[in-house]
């Protein structure tokens, strides 16, 4: 990450360049605003350090023009004639910091390192946003094997019109999958979501199949049920395992015959809807235990999609967090916060019992400027039995995070982690991580 230094005093220029070189900070040099802007046009610097008094224009004008190119480039202004008014004006215009000459090399390097760290975080977040935009399909964000397989199955099953069973823990995104299937199916009717666990047994038939006038007390006119209303669309049956046995057999008949009888009527009515059922429990195990009808299970299990819990796809957490922060920022009309590597490591170490739903809530709180709720430290979840194993696991998470941010570039990841490239290759080999998986 290269710094751009603009200074017309040769002595000050030499001192600043030497300080940066000793600190291993690459630096490009210019003596005028025009020359500096030409350098910026060729390659945007990671940070800018400029004198206020320059031969052609002043540093305040340079600050405005650099921020017009990229508002998030840190610009540090310096002058030998500074005062409080000038410092306030610099900050008001968006300067990252203001240095009054003379200053020590240590002070200069410290300010620049903090500016570069800020820039690194900005670029990390931009890479994540770009990766989310380019890789998330069907509304599902993820590039781990389980999510790639789920995306593949959505793409393959959506146009076939076959009924689908989606299996996953609470908060893994089962309704997102159902909506993705509906949107990719080409069906033009509505998407109708039914929470089977919240539908009282006493009104199940009326809600699902509809009723005729006079079918029961208070039924003053005919009512179309959800299955008829969903003509040409998709019916999403959430928490289907909570459906009572008496209702399961009625649903099975509908699935087989694609016809319903309204409550209080005798006439059969054809329905044209696709079913996507979701379960957080293992329906096969429930069927074997006699708690779910085996015939309904096998009728639903023609095509299935399995959604892994978030704790089993930790490599997707940076992408998911970036995606959720962007959505939260749009919803609340705020700027998405920038997460530091330690924060991201904390999220990757957390067990996420609430899965993606819990992560989305954390993103909401961050965008609202609220402190996230206390999270269980890594030691409280399923952990390795020894300190060395825990350290190895944490190191692996950081490596995966860096490769994800850098889109599989080992050179960029090595720079991001501030380790020699050979060291990084050795660590990747030891953890059996293939950079190609993150491109």
Mean pLDDT for 176-184 is 92
pLDDT at 129: 58
Comparing C-alpha atoms, which of 209, 205, 202, 204 is closest to residue 224?
A: 209
Which domains occur in the chain, in start order? 3-133 (3.40.50.2300), 145-308 (3.40.50.300), 311-438 (1.10.8.60)
Residue 161: CB atoms within 10 Å:
12
pTM: 0.59
* pLDDT at residue 82, as a whole number: 60
The neighbour count for residue 257, using CB atoms within 10 Å, is 11
Contacts of 181 (CB under 8 A, 6+ apart): 154, 157, 158, 164, 234, 274, 276
| 46/262 Cα distance (integer angstroms) | 68
What's the pLDDT score for residue 119? Answer: 87
What are the E-state strand segments in 132-222?
A: 164-167, 191-195, 210-211
Note the pLDDT tens digit of each residue in 272-309: 999 999 999 999 999 999 999 999 999 998 899 999 99
Mean pLDDT of 237-241: 95
| HSE-up (13 A, CA, CB side) for residue 26 | 5
Q: Across the chain, what does the average pLDDT equal?
A: 84
What does the pLDDT read at residue 438? 72
pLDDT of residue 303: 94
pLDDT at 237 exceeding the cut of 80? yes
Half-sphere exposure in the Cβ direction for 422 (13 Å, CA):
0
Least confident residue range of 38-47, 123-132, 404-413: 123-132
Confidence at 199, pLDDT banded by 50, 70, 90: confident
Instruction: Look up residue 344 and give its two tokens.
Output: 């991201």
CB 172 within 8 A of CB 320: no
How many residues are there in the chain?
439
Helices of type H across 7-164: 10-22, 33-42, 59-69, 84-92, 105-135, 145-157
Please, what sign has the CA dihedral across residues 388, 393, 397, 400?
positive
Residue 439 has pLDDT above 80, yes or no: no
**What is residue 81's predicted lDDT score, i.e. its pLDDT?**
67
Residue 381 clears pLDDT 50, i.e. is over it:
no
Residue 137 DSSP symbol? B
What is the per-residue pLDDT across 305-341, written as a single tens digit (0 to 9) for each? Answer: 999 999 998 888 888 888 888 889 989 999 888 777 7
Task: Assess whether pLDDT exceeds 80 at residue 192.
Answer: yes
Look at strands 259-261 and 268-270 and give their pairing. antiparallel
Concatenated DSSP letters for 327-341?
HHHHHHT-PPPPPPH
Could you give the CA distance from residue 118 to residue 123 in angstroms, rounded to a whole number?
9
């Amino acid at each position: 990450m290269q710094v751009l230094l603009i200074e017309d005093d040769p002595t000050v220029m030499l001192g600043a360049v030497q300080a940066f070189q000793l600190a291993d900070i690459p630096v490009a040099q210019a003596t005028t605003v025009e020359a500096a802007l030409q350098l910026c046009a060729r390659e945007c610097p990671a940070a800018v350090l400029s004198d206020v008094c320059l031969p052609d224009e002043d540093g305040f004008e340079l600050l405005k023009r650099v921020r017009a190119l990229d508002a998030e480039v840190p610009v540090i202004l310096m002058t030998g004639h500074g005062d409080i008014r000038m410092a306030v004006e610099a900050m008001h215009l968006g300067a990252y910091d203001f240095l009054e000459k003379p200053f020590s090399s240590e002070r200069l390097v410290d300010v620049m390192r903090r500016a570069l760290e800020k820039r690194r975080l900005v670029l990390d977040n931009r890479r994540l946003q770009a990766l989310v935009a380019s890789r998330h399909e069907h509304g599902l964000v993820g590039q781990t094997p389980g999510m790639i397989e789920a995306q593949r199955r959505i793409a393959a099953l959506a146009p076939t019109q076959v009924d689908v069973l989606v299996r996953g823990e609470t908060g893994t995104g089962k309704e997102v999958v159902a909506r993705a299937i509906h949107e990719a199916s080409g069906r033009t009717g509505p998407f109708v979501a039914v929470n089977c666990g919240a539908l009282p047994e006493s009104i199940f038939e009326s809600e699902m199949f509809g009723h005729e006038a006079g079918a029961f007390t208070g039924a003053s006119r005919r009512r179309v049920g959800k299955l008829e209303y969903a003509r040409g669309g998709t019916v999403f049956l959430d928490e289907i395992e909570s459906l009572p046995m008496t209702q399961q057999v009625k649903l099975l008949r509908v699935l087989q015959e694609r016809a319903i009888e309204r409550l209080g009527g005798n006439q059969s009515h054809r329905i044209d809807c696709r079913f996507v059922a979701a379960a957080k429990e293992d329906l096969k195990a429930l069927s074997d235990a006699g708690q779910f009808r085996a015939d309904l299970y096998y009728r639903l299990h023609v095509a299935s999609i399995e959604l892994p819990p978030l704790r089993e796809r930790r490599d997707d957490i940076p992408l998911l967090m970036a995606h959720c922060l962007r959505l939260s920022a749009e919803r609340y009309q705020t700027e998405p916060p920038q997460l530091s590597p330690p924060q991201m490591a904390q999220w990757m170490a957390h067990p996420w019992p609430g899965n993606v739903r819990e992560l989305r809530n954390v993103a909401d709180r961050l965008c609202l400027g609220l402190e996230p709720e206390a999270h269980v430290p890594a030691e409280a979840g399923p952990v390795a039995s020894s300190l060395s194993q825990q350290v190895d696991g944490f190191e692996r998470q950081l490596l995966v995070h860096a490769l994800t941010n850098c889109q599989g570039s080992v050179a960029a990841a090595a720079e991001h982690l501030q380790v020699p490239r050979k060291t990084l290759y050795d660590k990747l080999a030891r953890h059996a991580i293939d950079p190609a998986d993150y491109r």
